């Protein structure tokens, strides 16, 4: 039996509620903090992991503080603040282009319902792009100065998110799993939709219906080819909490 078979697993966790989630705004690559509820949700995720005896051996986050803060709360609560941490723009939330920072209800009032839904939920549709001046301001941030201009998005579809996260999977996460590690990826609603779509082989119609609730840990045990091993408990380590959060929100992928 390989070390991976004995214990290695991929842990996925959407960050806790952010202040933009609470305000029902498109967030994307804008850098906003957790809300008070989001901080509490991150602590709750740590409790679920601790009670089940699940311990990450390394952590991966985006470059956005709602992801970073959630990861820090979880690892500190687990007494795992010493494990290696890796951060990457490839794990950032989907870039919402010209919608970034805008109130969703205001946008919905300006466009037809089909376009609004496609921008939010579909596989292939991307929102209108961010203007060049707005993008220049965003990418002047020090965390992105080393990012090549050709990979700096002005907007993204879910398919674009899929394309940018796949190298991180193949080059970083999957080798860790093969080595028997238990990586914790603290991501965002759309990056995790892309990961779940990839891992479970979902199609564009299925992923349109997929919601990832805030701060409910997921676990995937994978074979050495990267295929999920059937888990009778499903993807969520707190299924009741996941169902409740999807019903009551906020499950908005921003």
Main-chain dihedrals φ then ψ at residue 177, nearest 5 degrees:
-65, -40
In 3D space, the residue among 11, 60, 69 whose CA is nearest the CA of residue 40 turns out to be 69
In 3D space, the residue among 98, 122, 95 whose CA is nearest the CA of residue 110 turns out to be 98
Phi-psi region of 101 (alpha: psi -120 to 50; beta: other; left: phi over 0): left
| List of E strands, the chain | 10-14, 58-61, 85-87, 183-187, 218-220
From the candidates 36, 72, 86, 93, give the one annotated as an active-site residue. 93
Taking the alpha carbons of 49, 239, 19, 186 in that order, is the dihedral positive or negative? positive
Active site residue 15: yes
| CA 14/CA 38 separation, integer angstroms | 11
E strand or H helix at 116, and its extent? Answer: helix 113-121
Q: What is the CA radius of gyration of the chain?
A: 17
Active site residue 142: no
| CA 147/CA 21 separation, integer angstroms | 27
User: What is the number of helices (H) and of strands (E) in the chain?
Assistant: 12, 5
E strand or H helix at 47, and its extent? Answer: helix 36-51
Instruction: Give the active site residues.
Output: 15, 93
């Amino acid at each position: 039996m390989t070390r991976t078979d004995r214990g290695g697993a991929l842990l996925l966790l959407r960050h806790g509620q952010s202040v933009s989630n609470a305000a029902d705004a498109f967030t994307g690559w804008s850098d906003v903090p957790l809300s008070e509820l989001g901080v509490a949700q991150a602590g709750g995720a740590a409790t679920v992991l601790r009670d089940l005896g699940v311990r990450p051996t390394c952590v991966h986050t985006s470059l956005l503080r709602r992801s970073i803060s959630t990861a820090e709360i979880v690892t500190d609560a687990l007494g795992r603040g010493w494990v290696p941490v890796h951060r990457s723009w490839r794990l950032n939330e989907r870039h919402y282009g010209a919608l970034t920072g805008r109130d969703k209800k205001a946008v919905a009032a300006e466009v037809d319902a089909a376009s609004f839904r496609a921008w939010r939920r579909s596989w292939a549709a991307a929102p209108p792009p961010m203007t060049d001046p707005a993008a220049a301001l965003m990418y002047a941030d020090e965390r992105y100065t080393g990012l090549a201009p050709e990979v700096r998005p002005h907007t993204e579809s879910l398919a674009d998110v899929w394309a940018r996260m796949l190298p991180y999977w193949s080059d970083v996460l999957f080798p860790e799993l093969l080595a028997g590690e238990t990586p914790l990826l603290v991501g965002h609603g759309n990056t995790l939709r892309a990961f779940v779509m990839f891992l479970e082989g979902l199609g564009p119609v299925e992923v349109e219906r997929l919601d990832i609730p805030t701060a409910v840990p997921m676990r995937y045990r994978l074979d050495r080819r990267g295929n999920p091993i059937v888990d009778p408990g499903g993807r969520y380590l707190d299924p009741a909490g996941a169902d409740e959060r999807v019903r009551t929100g906020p499950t908005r992928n921003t």
